[in-house]
Each structure stands twice: as structure tokens, then as C-alpha cells.
Amino acid sequence: MAAPAPLSPPSNAGADFRVALVCLPWYTAGRPSIQIGLVGAIARQAGFPTDLYHLNLDLAARTGPAIYEALCNHRGHLTGDWLFSVAAFGEEAHSDDAAYFAAFGEEIREIGAAIDEPPAYLSRLRHDILPQFIDDCLAAVDWGRYRVVGFSSTFQQNVACLALARRIKGTYPDTVIVFGGANMEDEMGPGYARAFTFVDYVLSGEADESFPALLRCLAAGQEAPEIPGLALRTAGGVRSCGQAPPVRDLDELPVPDYREYFARRDAQGLQAAYPHPVLPFESSRGCWWGAKHHCSFCGLNDLIMPYRAKRPERVLAELTELAARHGSTFFAASDNILDMKHLQQVLPRIAEAHADFQFFYEVKANLTREQIRTLARGGVRWIQAGIESVNTNLLRLMNKGSSMLQNVLLLKWARYYGIHVSWNILWGFPGETEADYQEQLAVLQLIPHLEPPNHAGRIRLERFSPYFTGRAAGTPVEVRPDASYAYVYPGHVPPAQVAYFFEYAMDGTVPDESNAETVAWVAEWERRWFSERPDTLSYRKSLDRLFIDDHRGAAPGQTYTLTGPAAPLYEYCGEAPRTVPAIISHLDGTVSAETVSRLLRELSARGLMLQEGGRHLSLALPANPGW
């Protein structure tokens, strides 16, 4: 891969103009940060000596990886940020732990179960362990040798970043503090800059061009000009230059640098806990579906929505270089959605080379069996498929562009080809009905042999979603920042300016109680899935018939024998949803429409098929793993 030629450093830059980039909790210790890995490589390419610090690994070593990762995996209120609030804000922090535990009791119980510790341990983290951790981060590095220290803030990294940034600025006042990352998108970035005077600059949007531009200005001793994406402190207050435009040519970006992560992992004695770290990479940015049909609840910012992808040759070269540098063949794509060109041109080449690469990717759900097979052969072992329902009317309200049958098809063939699927059941969409959810439950109860959803619950209102911005049918009312913001930040921070998650009410939706049976079923499904004898539904094929072995549920199960036209009909409808005319054609026109319709009704009545809109899908998986 031909990388862009390094730029010459400014004449007054060099060893005395050094840059540090920091990754803090709660970012997983199981992989390096692509945010600082890429921006650090860009800064070096621009001629600035840059050091990276994955200080999140230090906390993982201190708490133990099991507790650390459980807290990283937490999704809900801002408990992770709240834990760092004393370290960040001292006497300004909300001091009453019991009030937080009472306000978010269910979440605290879930976290306690995940880490196997009582609430008192969270208090000890908040008041003792994490403040000491920040003190140690300050002492462990000579931050005064850096002209610029940059913090990447995504999800619940924000308050940890503020805690260390405040201490660095207080100890080394001449050090320039820069914040970037998803938490700084659009108006949130200037909001944080106004609230915290120790933050000198904020970069909103993609920083690949704005960050080196800022470094060049600082190195030259110039006042920062109108750099798109920059928010800076002036005599008149914080001035914002808007959001940085999307980077157009991703092929010109360098390969992320992860060497510091591996060195720190080894120095912290974490090799056994993280023996095969996943290497993040990006093959595209934006969302080709969202650019045309933004999903109604999706918080992806419109300003970074335009879809851009690297050339297949560049993707392959980058994967090769990362594997050679770090000795790992485990990769996680940061892409919001898989580029279909990469499905056609990257993954088949990996399969042809018999490379032992393994991937995580986000995909759109309406893939064919052959495309899912291509994913598996190319090393994709885990996907986030954008499945939030198995009801077509609900999917239409979400603007997902897929159907119930397409979503079940993906779950089915992903199960067959050994691909783990992350998916959810969501509700809270204006226009939904209780009948939609009863129909959905009936489908869910037929597929316990497929992977269960990770979560079932009401949608969260995210700042940039079409529901929030008013671009989707249905208007949320009583909108206010999530209640946990008031517990996390001091009183002078206006939550409305910095919040990403909001509480709300929405007309035209069903109450949570309408999905109580679904929640119970998902819990039972998950229990059975991880039991010693998970549910199965498969078929065995002889020369003239099919044997369908149905072991869904607690009963001993039973075997159905399909002979005559029922056998090829069932197998044909397993590849993809089929219509009656297509089935008749597949059977060479030798079977009447009446017979085909009768067979389909009988198979559906036994729960062996699903049908919608005149299309029929067989649910059993082939027992033969080679088909």
C-alpha cells in the first residue's frame, strides 16, 4: 500500500513540540483505540512527534479485567461517568451516593450482579480508587513535555477525560488541552468548552484534517483561524467554526498505530487476560442506507452520514499490515455498515487465500444465504445486523428497509454458518399497535433454535435521531436530558447543551406492559440458548424424503417425515422466502397450486414455516454442515 508522503514539520516544531493522545476508561481493554491510533498516525504524518497512552489498561489491571470489562459493557444511564465525577469535579460533585443508587436502583442491581460486588464497592470506586487512579495517571507521565494533550471521548469516557485534563492543566498551565470524539459532535463540543475552562479547543466531527491544521497553527505561534470543526476560547467566549466536513478520500489516511497498546498491555501484565486483542480498522465511513433513509431512532449525525469507502485493495493492504505489525488476525470494523463492494471483492479474496482472519462487521439485514455464506468464508464471525424487530409493520415505522422474513432469514443462515449475531427487540414507535407485538411474539416463539436478542426494551431518544430533530413521523414531548446528567455534572453545566440521551414521552405508542410477555420470553429463550441442551430445529435428507427433527421447547421433541413434493418444497423455501408460483416452477409444474397451498398451510400450522405477504420461509436448518 502506498501511504501518503509525510509532511515536513513546521520550522519551529520538532522535539520541543510534542503531542500526546490519551485513551481513558471506560473504553475496553480488549482492543486498542482506533481513535487515538489513527489520529496519532495522522499527527506523525504531518510531522509532529506524537505519543499515545492507553491509560485505560492501567485501570483494568487495578480493578481486574472482569470488573473493568463489565463496567465498560454497561449501557444505560451515565453510571460510568458518575463513577469518575468525584475525581473530575471534587467538591462540586454530587456527593450523595445513596441518592444515585435510589434513583437508578435497577441499573445498580444489574451492575452489581455483573461485577459481583455490592453498591458499597461502587462508592469505593467513586471516592477512593478512581481519584487515586487519576492522581497516578498525572504522576506517571511528564505531561509538561507536551505542547498539546488530546483526549478522545466516546460514550462514557467523558468524565474520566475531564478529570485528567483538569489535573494536567492545573499542573502544567501552558499545555494545550484538546478534546475530540463522538461526545463532542455538533453543539455538544462547544457546550463542553463553555462549561470547562481548562479545555482549550474542541474538535467536532472527523478530526483527520482539523487536528493537524490546529497543530500547525499552534506550532507556528498563530492564532487558530477558521478551521472547520474547531471550537476555541476567545476573549468574547467560545467561538465555534461548526462541524468539520467529512473526509472524502479515506485511502489517503495512514494505518492506525497500535504499538503503544501492546507495550502497555504487556507492561501491565495483561497478556493472559487479553491474549488476542481485536484490532480495530475502518473500511468505510457513514451509512449508505441512512444517507437515503435515516432510521427513525438512529443517533448517527447527518453531517457524517455521507458514505465513503476505501478501495478493496487498500482494505486488504491495511489488514495485511496490521496483522504483520501486531501478530493478530482478529479484526473489528468500525464501519456503520458493510460496503457491498467489500463483500464482493475483499472477503472472497481472504477466503481464497485461506487467511485465518476473523472479523466483526455491522451489516444491513437483507442479505441472501449466499451473501451470508460469503461473510462466513471470508472470516466474519460476528455481526451487528441492525435487526430491531421481526414485524414488518414495525420495521416500516423504524425506516429499516427490511422485512420480518428477511430478518429471520439472516438469523437462520448466520446460525448455520456459525456467525454470532447481535440484535435487539425495540418498541416505542408512533403508529405501533398491540397487534404488531402479538404477531411479533408469535414469530419469536417459533425461532428459539436461532440466536436470541441481546436486549428487549423501549428505544432511547438520541440527540441526532430523526425523532429528536423532527424529521420522523411522531414528535416526542416532555423532552429533557437523561436524569443521570444532573448527578454527573456540576450545577453550572447545562445538560441540555451537552446531553446525547434524553427522556421523553411519545404519543401513539404502546405501554411497556404490552411487551411484558415478550420480555419474559426473551429471558427464557436466552436461558435455554446457554443451557446444556439448547433448542434445535433441523432436517436430515435422504434420497427421497426429509426428516425434520423438532427439539424446540421442553418436550422430548418429534420428527416429521416429508415425502413426495413436500420434501423439495420445504428445502426450496429454506434458501429464501418463496411464492406459490415460484414453488410450482421449481417443481417443474408437476404439482398444482392447490396442493402447494395445502402443503404450505400444513407446514405452517406445525410451526415449521413462516409466511407473510404470499411468501414462505422454512425454519429448519440443514443438519449437514457442508450444504
Q: Indicate the CATH number for domain 278-525.
A: 3.80.30.20
Q: Confidence class of residue 169 from pLDDT cuts 50, 70 and 90?
A: very high
Give the residue carrying C-alpha cell 506550532.
Answer: 219
Domain ranges of the chain: 19-240, 278-525, 536-622
384 Cβ contact partners less than 8 Å away, ≥ 6 residues apart: 360, 361, 362, 363, 421, 422, 423
Tell me the per-residue pLDDT of 313-345, one tens digit each, with 9 for 90 and over: 999 999 999 999 999 999 999 999 999 999 999
Tell me the per-residue pLDDT of 498-509, one tens digit each, with 9 for 90 and over: 999 999 999 999
Specify the pLDDT at position 14. Answer: 52
Is pLDDT of 2 > 70?
no
**Count of CB atoms within 10 A of residue 10's CB?**
19
3-state helix, strand, coil in the chain (%, to 5): 40, 15, 40
The string of DSSP letters for 545-558 reads EEEEEEE-SSS--E
Mean pLDDT calculated for residue range 30-44: 98
Tell me the per-residue pLDDT of 223-240, one tens digit each, with 9 for 90 and over: 877 899 999 988 889 999
Question: Do the two domains 278-525 and 536-622 of this chain adopt the same fold?
Answer: no
**Count of CB atoms within 10 A of residue 609's CB?**
23
199: amino acid identity, one letter = V
460: amino acid identity, one letter = R
Question: Percent of the chain beyond pLDDT 70?
Answer: 98
Is pLDDT of 553 > 60?
yes
Q: Which of 38, 29, 36, 57 is nearest to 277 (CA)?
A: 29
Question: Percent of the chain beyond pLDDT 90?
Answer: 92
Is pLDDT of 8 > 50?
no
Tell me the per-residue pLDDT of 190-225, one tens digit each, with 9 for 90 and over: 999 999 999 999 999 999 999 999 999 999 998 877
Q: Confidence class of residue 627 from pLDDT cuts 50, 70 and 90?
A: confident
Tell me the per-residue pLDDT of 143-161, one tens digit each, with 9 for 90 and over: 999 999 999 999 999 999 9
Output the average pLDDT for the chain: 95
Is pLDDT of 554 > 90?
no
Specify the pLDDT at position 301. Answer: 83
Q: Which CATH class is domain 536-622?
A: mainly alpha
Q: Confidence class of residue 15 from pLDDT cuts 50, 70 and 90?
A: low
